[in-house]
Structure 1
């Protein structure tokens, strides 16, 4: 059961009958919601419910039996409390979750760009997203078909042995990957230009374009080329073309960057596996964009998230699964871990 005007950016695990989501909610990417819990050979499945206008952040977990009241917010990589009921409008962050007394709100935002878009905006988004969601597949089919008809089939017919055909096949695959990535690169500059800090409503033309760009980037360039470049010198080379400011000798094992021009990586810093330099958040249906600066020689641990408007100082170290809250500054030559990030014991 999904309420009216709810936004969902994640795939549920098939337990649809146990899920009830209220009106005007927002469920972000990679949320675990309604999945069963298996322990010691027993599977537990319970109803999961949210009230109206609830926000569930990226990578959050709503375990079986969770009941989230109206207006509540669950932060990224967080879960609701297990030993007490949440109150309406409450904000929880972390695991175990702490109660945040205040958060930035945008209650005065233009409602036509957030919760009550006019009919023409709904139609524009429907048509635009139908096209943008199908574009990666259309590009695969078109370029693959042309390559097969005009390159691979003629080469296969002319080859006496498979070994004669193999170089053409390999070169054609490489050329297709580079061509698809080049199209995505061109679309970034044509569609978005240079990303800058700012606030944009969910239903604004700017938000529609950047979401389309994200779909194209991850669904095309990321899948067919950039994921293979992770941990190699080639990934920084490519992401510089997209607008990321990357210094010398950077180790980059993540492609999880969206507002490219808002990210600066200092010389010889290390961005470990699937770290997320998250330059935006979507609470209150306002997309808030900010900058992230990683200092020279800093190390970002695996699966760590750094939120926007933050600076990580030179030679600082963030442990695995750490979350740096927006607006924070991590001092240089220090070690931090946890969600939210805290100084590690014994660190200097």
Structure 2
């Protein structure tokens, strides 16, 4: 399954994904949306109207104490499995349930419930009002229009092939000219080998520049807004992401992590990056909504998630790291969240939607909680509740909630190594 995410990437997060999963043995219902799921297909059942987001996992083996446990998984009707969320073996998700980003499904949850965190905690859920014709029950004309846009996802693969052919043709021409039409093959090999470096660099630069051009041509500047799943903006955004993942990432961006190359490319894509910032992730989905201040650190495997897909409506909000802030490896920041000056979020943590992490403080966990040995700080949003709980030496889960917790169901683009 993981290898198919590379070889058949343009097919994922599209109308064709359910068909691909059926071919591999999964039982997939009608009107199902699947992004880059990892699963054992013939042990997986996804019922009508379900949504599996980027790098979600279903029926993945559980390994521990010298044993490998393999079991089946059923995702119920209308249920949602968020980015990097897990519905493990022999765990079934009932109808209309939700497992939030980086979350784990509990054992036998009731229908219609929503769950957050690695130690699953029930959270409130507010439905997003939207036209069913643009979300769960689109007419055939919208489905056909989506297919037409998604067929263009193969264009980046064609460009890769053309660039490869151009490099081979150039080096063959260099070889033939240097070797005197083959009379001095050793000299031809030496000259072609020397020429291969600038040829490869030129091809990588072209492959990395093309997604920048297509980004501005297809979607322009990202702004905070709401768009239903069946709208041309969402399809064009996914098409732009295919150009990034197929062209830019394999050629130059992956090897440029943490270097000025990635910083410069991200700025061209619209990301606001300050001086001396360390950026080691390309998962910055809606680039114009990402702000990374001077001396801030974005570590490897992190996701600055700027959109949610709650009830199949794409809601976009900005994400910000202030000066000197640090986001630890493999951590998530959800839309509307921010890290204050010199704030630290430790590895594998989840910053909830619209959380404002105060400056000069230390946070960790899924979802984040103030680290006890860190300096006292005042937070806002749901983070404030957890900070006050720490100050009183109580677990936040034991205290009454002062307001609804934001739903953190996401789908992204986000895309390799941990994810619309």
| TM-score normalised by L of structure 2 | 0.79
Provide runs of 4+ in structure 1 moved above 6 Å: none
- In the alignment, which residue of structure 1 is the partner of 2:111? 88
Question: Aligned to 1:189, which of 216, 220, 228?
Answer: 216
The reply to whether residue 103 of structure 1 matches residue 140 of structure 2 is no
Q: Measure how far apart 1:34 and its partner are.
A: 1.3
TM-superposed CA distance for 1:161, in Å, is 4.0
In structure 2, the residue matched to 1:68 is: 93
Name the CA distance, whole Å, in 2 between partners of 1:104 and 1:227. Answer: 38
Which moves more between the two structures, 158-167 or 288-297? 158-167
Q: Distance in 2 between matches of 1:27 and 1:86?
A: 18
| Alignment partner of 2:155 out of 135, 138, 163 | 135
Deviations 1:265-315 (A, max 9, x none): 010001111111010111211111100110000011000100111121000
For 2:249 and 2:176, the matched residues in 1 are separated by 33
1:154 to 149, 173, 178: 173
1:151-199 alpha-carbon deviations (Å, 9 max, x no partner): 1111011232422112211111110111111111100001111001111
Q: Distance in 2 between matches of 1:240 and 1:45?
A: 44
Equivalent in the alignment of 2:7: none
CA–CA distance in 2 between the matches of 1:312 and 1:296?
9
2: CA distance between counterparts of 1:295 and 1:41? 44
Q: Which runs of 5+ in 2 are unaligned?
A: 1-26, 179-186, 376-420
8 Å Cα contact 2:38-2:55 kept in structure 1: no
1:12: how far off?
Answer: 3.8
Q: Work out which of the residue numbers 34, 54, 69 in structure 1 matches 2:59.
A: 34
- Which one of 24, 48, 71 corresponds to residue 46 of structure 1? 71
Which secondary structure state, in structure 2, belongs to the residue aligned with residue 67 of structure 1? coil
Paired residue secondary structure (2:28): coil
Relative to the length of structure 1, the TM-score reads 0.95
Where does the alignment leave 5 or more consecutive residues of structure 1 unmatched?
none
- How far apart in 2 are the matches of 1:9 and 1:263? 22
| 1:71-92 deviation per Cα after TM superposition (whole angstroms, max 9, x unaligned) | 100001111114xx21111110
RCO higher in structure (CA 8 A, sep ≥6): 2
Kindly indicate whether the alpha-carbon contact (under 8 Å) linking 2:283 and 2:303 is maintained by their aligned counterparts in 1: yes
- CA deviation vs aligned residue, 1:206-245 (integer Å, no higher than 9, x gap): 1000011112112211121111111112211111111001
Return closer, same or farther for 1:241/1:104 CA change in 2, 3 Å cut-off: farther
3-state secondary structure, aligned to 1:336: strand
Give the whole-Å Cα distance in 2 for the aligned partners of 1:163 and 1:302. 42
Choose which of 249, 254, 267 in structure 2 pairs with 1:240.
267
Root-mean-square deviation over aligned CA pairs: 1.3
Q: Are residue 216 (structure 1) and residue 243 (structure 2) matched? A: yes
